[in-house]
Structure 1
Amino acid sequence: MADKPTITLSEPIELGEKVITTVTLRTIKTKSMRKISAAKDDFETSFQMVCAVTGLADEEVDELTVGDFTKIAEAAADFLPQEASSPNTGSSGGASSQTSPAS
């Protein structure tokens, strides 16, 4: 797999003694895609996507500047597998199946 993109934040996230200056995008799992698809609106979809691809908690994403949030959301959309954004995904229940020829 290619290198995972790393984004340097324009303003560090500081929560308690924890300081985050960069985030590395990661491959997301199906459970994250379920949260993303259950979002009520476009912003919530982006919020859940940023949480999923960065591994940041909700309260950490809440502390991102709007510019950093947008930069991560745009990078995350490019980082998602093409199948995840395909309009045909899920049209047959989201799973493919193989059938055996009739004897």
Structure 2
Amino acid sequence: MEKTIEIPLAHPITYGDKTISTLILRRPKAGDFRGLKGMDMPFDMILDFAASLSDLSPAVIDRLDVEDMPKLIEVVSGFLGGFPATGKT
């Protein structure tokens, strides 16, 4: 069984006829890091990565309330923390 991380939302997301009260993110695999772009725009990258790991569209993640963002950013950033910075030096 694949390990997941659940993030309860203080402000559930309504998208279409769905209400999402908990984000469920799977742990990333090596291939999930392919194509990560935007180290110069970390919020964009983190939100896109979160969408990918939750199997939700970026449009759903975009509806996340600002109060719920810190926990999501903490969890997703934790997956990225051990990697060296890339880009021009």
- Specify the TM-score bucket, using the shorter chain as the normaliser: 0.7 to 0.9
C-alpha contact (below 8 Å) 2:46/2:76 kept by paired residues: no
- Which structure 1 residue ranges, 4+ long, deviate > 4 Å from structure 2? none
What SS is found at the alignment partner of 2:63?
coil
Identity %: 27
SS at match of 1:25: strand
Give the TM-score taking structure 2 as reference length: 0.73
Structure 2 residue runs without a partner (length 5+): none
Higher strand share: 2
> How many residues in Structure 1 have an aligned counterpart in Structure 2?
85
Q: CA shift at 1:30, angstroms?
A: 4.4
SS of aligned partner of 1:50: helix
Unaligned runs of 5+ in 1: 90-103
| Higher fraction of helix | 1
- 2:83 is matched with 86
The one of the two structures with greater contact order (alpha-carbon pairs below 8 A, sep at least 6) is 2
Task: Note the alpha carbon deviations across 1:19-70, whole angstroms, 9 max, x for none.
Answer: 111012202244532342x225112122122212222211100100122122
